[in-house]
Amino acid sequence: MDRKKHWDSVYSQKGETEVSWYEDEPRMSLDLITEVAQSSACRIIDIGGGASVLVDRLVDLGFEKIAVLDISETAMNKAKTRLGSLAARVDWIVADVTETAEIGVFDVWHDRAVFHFLIDATDRRKYVELASRSIPEGGSLIVATFADDGPRRCSDLDVVGYNAESLSSELGPGFTLVKETRATHTTPWGKRQAFFHGVFRRVKI
């Protein structure tokens, strides 16, 4: 499967508000990010940010170093167009998170609904290796995935659901769970989906 083609095609065929993961206000993500990012100097990256308005809110909040990484340039172009001149305040990285060598250093790594698409253990390992290289000790990794009793497929792809134990085990000893919460996402057509959110601190091993 060509992942890039898949995601570019999804975002070309559907409007920003027509995808199952659409949120008009990314409340949970913002709450978790602002709990750990206590200064505007915090470097924040949204992994698989797609066309989400999270980046708009982070810009509004005055964070000085914000990056969005996504495999789909089509998705990121939607966010860039929406932001207009403010898009210049963001680093836009078109890349597959499992195939990228370096992205810089970030105090906060946020991922909503990307990790659960990594059904191959090697891809998960590469994701964790990149996160480990990119987040300094004391930094935070915030991951929102489908819960273990959540959907089994999304966007015509298989997914893996998680709970605190299974996600901690995937991330390994370099990340300690500091907060966990479950939430229900309601799709634009009213379907309820169980999500797991974990906040992890990068620790020395």
Ligand X SMILES: C[S@@+](CC[C@H](N)C(=O)[O-])C[C@H]1O[C@@H](n2cnc3c(N)ncnc32)[C@H](O)[C@@H]1O
Q: Which residues bind ligand X (CB under 6 A)?
A: 3, 7, 21, 48-50, 52, 70-72, 75, 96-98, 112-114, 117
| CB 85 to ligand X: min, Å | 23
Angle formed at CA 64 by CA 32 and CA 19, multiple of 5 degrees: 50
Nearest residue (CB) to ligand X, 127 versus 200: 127
Minimal distance, residue 74 CB to ligand X, in Å: 8
Nearer to ligand X, 5 or 40 (CB): 5
Q: How far is the CB of 29 from ligand X (least distance, A)?
A: 7
Nearer to ligand X, 21 or 63 (CB): 21
For residues 129 and 165, which CB has a smaller minimum distance to ligand X in the complex? Answer: 129
Residues 6+ apart with CB under 8 A from 78: 11, 16, 51
**Which residue sits closest to ligand X, CB atoms considered?**
50
Give whole-number Cα distances, 92 to 43, 59, 72, 77, 99, in Å. 14, 13, 11, 9, 16
Supply the minimum distance, in Å, between the C-beta of residue 96 and ligand X: 4
**Nearest distance from C-beta of residue 204 to ligand X, angstroms:** 27
Nearest C-alpha neighbor of 24 from the set 60, 51, 45, 4: 51
Name the CA dihedral angle for 130, 133, 134, 136, rounded to a multiple of 10 degrees. 150
Phi and psi at 69, nearest 5°, equal: -115, 135
**Distance between CA atoms of 104 and 117, rounded to whole angstroms?**
23
Rounded Cα distance between 18 and 187, Å, is 9
Nearer to ligand X, 31 or 165 (CB): 31
The answer to whether the CB of 11 falls within 8 A of the CB of 75 is: yes
